[in-house]
């Protein structure tokens, strides 16, 4: 099996496979077929991969496609980082969005340079599961019924005097039994079972085999029938919460099994526009906790127009709304797009439709502070933060800021976001000339 890593918008050459970095046409076709079967692929898979005559081109969907012939990893385009560091930033973003508790010490042992995103996530799951099972599997009292030689719990009177009427030596008992065969462990066993078929690294396979023995007495439940709603997390098993989120990722709809004719494939993919939006939103919630400001993601929903028959038309739903009580102080829309430099384009590559959308937000939500937020890169400016500011004509003082946030280094991200919000809410400082 060949392994390949691309960044967004990069190309993978199709050839006879002999040259380094090439992929055969047969393997390329299977990757494209896997992309088409993904829910993110669209009708022809071209939101993930564009299939050309001589090369494949990655789009703005990141993650891993696995087929019997090849593994293709697509990473986000972040300036100044090698593949390992980019992979690490991507997993940090996923961790914040999916509420995964990943200790920094655990991250340093995962071999970012040698394994693709999927293999790193599997290893992370193994390491975290090993840590908690050493303390024992969680158990709960579950109701059981059985016919026993001595009374245990309560007598099941109807069964005793019907089914067991001719067998007085057996007692129909109802009782609670402390058992490890519970929903949480069934989910963990399903994850271990599935990942044993997928993991490539020998050390990861060894660990998964050991974990399979730990869960040997737990019932095997098909993935589609797993009892997610029956999981109970409390103070006795709170350390399993992050593992449950990671298992949901590795068993959920984002991790899709695909039928490729000659074999089975897998895909674990994320649309970068959505991931960037959710990451920034969650990070702002964390950064502004205790500030008195409320951060709301994807809403509140409203409408731009009222028709003649008083029906609301053209729904609006901002990415991020920052409020102070009932007053909307700042509306932020994130865009996973690279701004151009001021010399190349005085508009900096900002889309006209995006500007119109922000103007509509200003009117609908009565907010005079708006921001379009992009990932920072070297051509956008020497420093991240506010890049340009604009007064919205026809208003008293409504302003739209164009800003960037750096993803090459997450150190101090909370403080940088607080500063960015402060510059947006108090433009008299940021817009002073």
Q: What is the pLDDT of residues 279-312, one digit of tens each?
A: 999 999 999 998 889 999 988 888 888 888 889 8
Point out which residues pair with 374 in neighbouring strands.
404
Q: Which pLDDT belongs to residue 259?
A: 66
Q: What are phi and psi of 251, to 5 degrees?
A: -115, -5
3-state secondary structure of 68: coil
Residue 384 in contact with residue 406, Cβ under 8 Å?
Answer: yes
Please write the tens of the pLDDT for every residue from 9-48: 999 999 886 667 789 999 999 999 889 888 888 777 789 9
- Residue 328's closest CA among 297, 305, 360, 294? 294
How is residue 363 written in tokens? Answer: 């009117």
Residue whose tokens read 């089914």: 163
On the question of pLDDT at 86 being above 60, the answer is yes
Q: Which pLDDT belongs to residue 432?
A: 35
First vs last C-alpha separation in the chain? 58
- Residue 395's closest CA among 370, 433, 362? 362
Helix (H), strand (E) at residue 315:
strand 312-316
Q: Which pLDDT belongs to residue 265?
A: 81
pLDDT grade for 410, boundaries at 50, 70 and 90: confident
Please write the tens of the pLDDT for every residue from 322-372: 999 889 999 999 999 988 877 666 777 788 999 999 999 999 999 999 999
Cα separation, 282 vs 91, in Å, equals 15
3-state secondary structure of 321: strand
How is residue 111 written in tokens? Answer: 């071999």
Q: What is the mean pLDDT of residues 166-171?
A: 90
Point out which residues pair with 149 in neighbouring strands.
none
Cα separation, 155 vs 173, in Å, equals 5
pTM for the whole structure: 0.85
Please write the tens of the pLDDT for every residue from 106-155: 555 555 667 888 998 999 999 899 989 988 899 888 888 889 999 888 99
In this structure, the number of other CB atoms found within 10 A of the CB of residue 157 comes to 10
């Amino acid at each position: 099996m060949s392994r390949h890593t691309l960044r967004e918008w990069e190309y993978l050459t199709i050839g006879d496979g002999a040259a380094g970095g090439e992929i055969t046409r047969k393997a390329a076709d299977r990757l494209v077929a896997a992309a088409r079967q993904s829910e993110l692929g669209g009708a022809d898979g071209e939101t993930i991969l564009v299939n050309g005559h001589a090369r494949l081109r990655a789009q703005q969907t990141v993650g891993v496609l696995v087929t019997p012939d090849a593994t293709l990893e697509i990473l986000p385009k972040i300036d100044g980082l090698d593949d390992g560091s980019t992979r690490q930033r991507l997993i940090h973003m996923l961790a914040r969005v999916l509420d995964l508790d990943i200790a920094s010490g655990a991250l340093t042992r995962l071999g970012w340079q040698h394994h693709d995103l999927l293999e790193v996530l599997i290893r992370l799951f193994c390491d975290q599961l090993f840590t908690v099972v050493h303390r024992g599997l969680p158990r709960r009292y579950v109701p059981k019924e059985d016919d026993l030689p001595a009374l245990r719990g309560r007598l099941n009177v109807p069964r005793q005097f019907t089914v067991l009427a001719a067998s007085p030596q057996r007692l129909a008992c109802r009782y609670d039994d402390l058992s490890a065969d519970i929903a949480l462990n069934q989910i963990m066993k399903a994850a271990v079972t599935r990942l044993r078929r997928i993991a490539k690294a020998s050390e990861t396979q060894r660990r998964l085999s050991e974990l399979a023995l730990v869960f040997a007495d737990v019932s095997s439940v098909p993935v589609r029938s797993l009892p997610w709603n029956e999981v109970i997390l409390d103070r006795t098993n709170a350390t399993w919460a992050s593992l449950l989120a990671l298992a949901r990722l590795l068993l959920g709809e984002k991790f899709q099994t695909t039928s490729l004719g000659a074999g089975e494939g897998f895909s674990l993919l994320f649309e970068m526009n959505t991931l960037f939006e959710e990451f920034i939103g969650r990070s702002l919630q964390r950064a502004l906790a205790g500030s008195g400001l409320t951060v709301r993601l994807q809403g509140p929903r409203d409408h731009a127009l009222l028709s003649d028959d008083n029906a609301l038309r053209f729904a609006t739903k901002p990415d991020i709304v920052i409020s102070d009580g009932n007053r909307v102080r700042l509306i932020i829309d994130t865009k996973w797009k690279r701004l151009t430099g001021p010399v190349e384009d005085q508009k900096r590559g900002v889309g006209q439709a995006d500007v119109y959308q922000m103007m509509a937000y200003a009117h609908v939500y009565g907010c005079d502070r708006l921001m379009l937020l992009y990932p920072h890169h070297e051509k956008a400016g020497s420093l991240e933060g506010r890049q340009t500011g604009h007064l919205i004509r026809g208003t008293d003082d409504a302003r739209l800021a164009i800003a960037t946030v750096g993803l090459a280094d997450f150190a101090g991200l909370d403080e940088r976001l607080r500063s960015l919000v402060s510059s947006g809410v108090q433009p008299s400082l940021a817009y002073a000339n």
